[in-house]
Amino acid sequence: MKSENNSVPIDHVIKVDNERHIRVWETVPKDQCDKRNNTIIIASGFARRMDHFAGLAEYLSTNGFHVIRYDSLNHVGLSSGEIDQFSMSVGKESLLTVIDWLKSEHGIDQVGLIASSLSARIAYDIVADVNLSFLITAVGVVNLRNTLEQALKYDYLQMEIDEIPEDLDFDGYNLGSKVFVTDCFENNWDTLDSTINKTKNLNFPFIAFVANGDSWVQQHEVEELISNINSDKTKIYSLIGSSHDLGENLIVLRNFYQSITKAAIALDSNLVGLVSEIIEPQFEALTIATVNERRLKNKIQSKSLA
């Protein structure tokens, strides 16, 4: 895994089966920085592609991290499938496939995971079965039913499955409701209690970031989740001035990048907290990385349509 240009991610394709693939982007540590112990996987939230996290990848790689991003199956982005067929279990399959690919194909078993929004609920589901070095979540969903009700303005999960509208607008995208809701009930994704049951025996360091203006994720429920974890390696921090949308303005976005990077460096050094200082990438570097990733995405999409 090697790159000739640190500002352009390396594009990988994981073949899941004869019909499906997962696209993965790799960002290597900057040449001038000290290398960290762990590779970091970034799991995007619902309706977010891996290129939406170009800035965070730049912050982390500037501070010595080897960074892996991916687009989930049946989602937006470059991997197989359409978003109206997305379910939490498909998201879980995608994340586990990437972790296994890193370990089996590249011998990388020191892995930290950063998961935001809906992908955090998926991360919480795997922690008992996957040996991660650490977990960081940002505005991470802990009570899926409540989050869906806030986002959709109605609790559709109280309805009979045949009565739910087929298509629901979730964050500007068409959520195939019957596929999604059926999976929620069949695999116990929907309640806070189900999340607590999955995480209570979490035995590696975990930091959760909440946003004080987040109406989709309630801070007291995140605190309840953490209070039920049988570990003293957990902390919660608040991103002041932010809503659930961490990219709503440049000040909030920069604070998000800084906070996550400070947490990742601390956890990589076996400290549960935040370091005081990081290396901030130049604005020009962030701009170049964003432009290069947009070009790479467009190039891949053009080839797939040819």
Given this model, what pLDDT does residue 174 score?
Answer: 83
Given this model, what pLDDT does residue 3 score?
Answer: 43
Interatomic CA distance for residues 39 and 213, integer angstroms: 31
Of these residues, 51, 190, 214, 268, which one is catalytic?
214
Summary mean pLDDT of the chain: 93
Tell me if the pTM is above 0.75: yes
Given this model, what pLDDT does residue 2 score?
Answer: 46
Of these residues, 7, 79, 87, 117, which one is catalytic?
117
84 noted as active-site residue: no
Closest CA to 199 of 249, 247, 142: 142
Report all structural domains of the chain as residue ranges with CATH numbers, in order of start.
8-138+192-303 (3.40.50.1820)
117 noted as active-site residue: yes
Given this model, what pLDDT does residue 6 score?
Answer: 64
The one-character DSSP state at 276 is S
Given this model, what pLDDT does residue 177 score?
Answer: 87
The one-character DSSP state at 188 is T
CA 110 to chain centre: 17
Closest CA to 208 of 124, 150, 279: 124
What is the per-residue pLDDT across 123-163, written as a single tens digit (0 to 9) for each?
A: 999 998 999 999 999 999 999 999 999 999 999 999 988 89
What is the per-residue pLDDT across 37-50, written as a single tens digit (0 to 9) for each?
A: 999 999 999 989 99
Q: Does the CA dihedral 154-155-158-161 come out positive or negative? A: positive
Closest CA to 152 of 183, 122, 181: 181
Query: 249 vs 189, which has greater pLDDT?
Result: 189
Of these residues, 21, 244, 259, 268, which one is catalytic?
244
89 noted as active-site residue: no
